Amino acid sequence: MSTPASNITAPTQFLEVKNQKYAYRRFGKGPGLSLLCLQHFTGTLDNWDPAVTDPLAEEREVILFESAGIGCSSGKVPTNVAGMAAHAMAFLDALGLTVCDVLGFSLGGMVAQQMVLDRPSIFRRIILVGTAPRGGEDIMHLEKPSLAKHLSDPNLKGYTVLQKIFFAPTDSSQAAGAAFIGRLVQRKDDREPISGPEVAQAQMAAFRDWEQFTGERFAGLKSIRQPTLVINGVHDEMIPVRNSYWLSENQPNAVLLTYPDSGHGSLFQFHESFTRQAAAFLNSDSPFAPF
């Protein structure tokens, strides 16, 4: 059986674990460890930009995971990150993967952090994009004027709102956003259902919980010893870049890369740079993060 190494064509597959059905896509091959991809707020399998996933799939298997209550996965969306991490680990266990690399974007980056805290052996190398540590600040406050003006604009429908909120308000970034939307709709068949308000509500509760912390702030990060690549756009309104500063300052083995002229979707805007840097990072065998 040949699986096309692209998120435009990879079939959606299903895995049953107890009474839970998980949708996922799995494509690509090569010498690299499998790369688990954990998705952003309300995003489904269809929100993974093929310009990001496909180049990475040239040297490794890429696994896009749909957590409980999203798209064609059954169940309910947990209202905290720990619940989402438990689903992702149950999925990896059922796949028989004891160790993999991970790309966590936004909410997915929080899930990745929680997973490695709960089971340190699960990841070899970690990529965190546009995300925040527990105890971070200004995480997905969609009521902020800079975001609310787009989310409440009746002229912005479907994916076009993503162009506004994932990209910076410059001509160059907005053009990159339009190209991104164009890539997301390249997949014609077997698309996932779009997330509804109940998904957003549960995930928003998880963000509010993630902003809380007890004890010493960011202390948990010090135990994440895996080489980590932290990436953020400097004009990210959804999860501001200072959250990535805290990740890279407090994780003992993290490299930070920030992109100019870009917002939350910096990895999509600079997909050529991102996939080159991510591949170089993942291909490194060094115990140190610098690659």
- Residue 10 touching a copy of itself (CB under 8 A): no
Name which of 80, 117, 78, 87 is nearest 17 in CA terms: 87
Beta bridge partners of 15: 22
- Residue 122 touching a copy of itself (CB under 8 A): no
Any residues with CB less than 8 A from the CB of 200 and at least 6 apart, and which? 41, 42
> Smallest gap, in angstroms, from Cβ of residue 274 to a copy of itself?
8
Q: With CB under 8 A as the contact rule, which of the stretches 42-50, 70-78, 147-155, 272-280 interacts with a copy of itself?
A: 272-280
Closer to a copy of itself by CB, 163 or 251: give it. 251
- Residue 288 touching a copy of itself (CB under 8 A): yes
Name which of 70, 44, 213, 204 is nearest 140 in CA terms: 204
Task: Give the integer Cα–Cα distance in Å for 258 and 104.
Answer: 16
Residues 176-215 as x/- pattern, contact with a copy of itself by CB under 8 A: ----------------------------------------
> Smallest gap, in angstroms, from Cβ of residue 235 to a copy of itself?
8
Closer to a copy of itself by CB, 27 or 180: give it. 180
Closer to a copy of itself by CB, 9 or 273: give it. 273
- Residue 289 touching a copy of itself (CB under 8 A): yes
Closer to a copy of itself by CB, 149 or 222: give it. 222
138-144: long-range pairs with CB below 8 Å, 24+: 138/239, 138/240, 138/243, 139/207, 139/210, 139/211, 139/239, 139/243, 140/41, 140/106, 140/107, 140/204, 140/207, 140/238, 140/239, 142/204, 144/237
Count CB neighbours of 158 within 10 A: 10
> Smallest gap, in angstroms, from Cβ of residue 269 to a copy of itself?
8
- Residue 273 touching a copy of itself (CB under 8 A): yes
Residues 231-270 as x/- pattern, contact with a copy of itself by CB under 8 A: ---x------x---x--xx-xxxxxxxxxxx--------x
Burial class (CB in 10 A: 0-12, 13-18, 19+), 210: buried
Closer to a copy of itself by CB, 32 or 240: give it. 240
Alpha helix (H) ranges present in 152-262? Answer: 160-166, 171-184, 197-210, 242-250
Name which of 28, 227, 24, 276 is nearest 123 in CA terms: 227
Q: With CB under 8 A as the contact rule, which of the stretches 75-83, 104-112, 139-147, 273-281 interacts with a copy of itself?
A: 273-281
Please report, as ranges, the residues that interact with a copy of itself according to CB under 8 A: 234, 241, 245, 248-249, 251-261, 270, 272-274, 276, 288-291
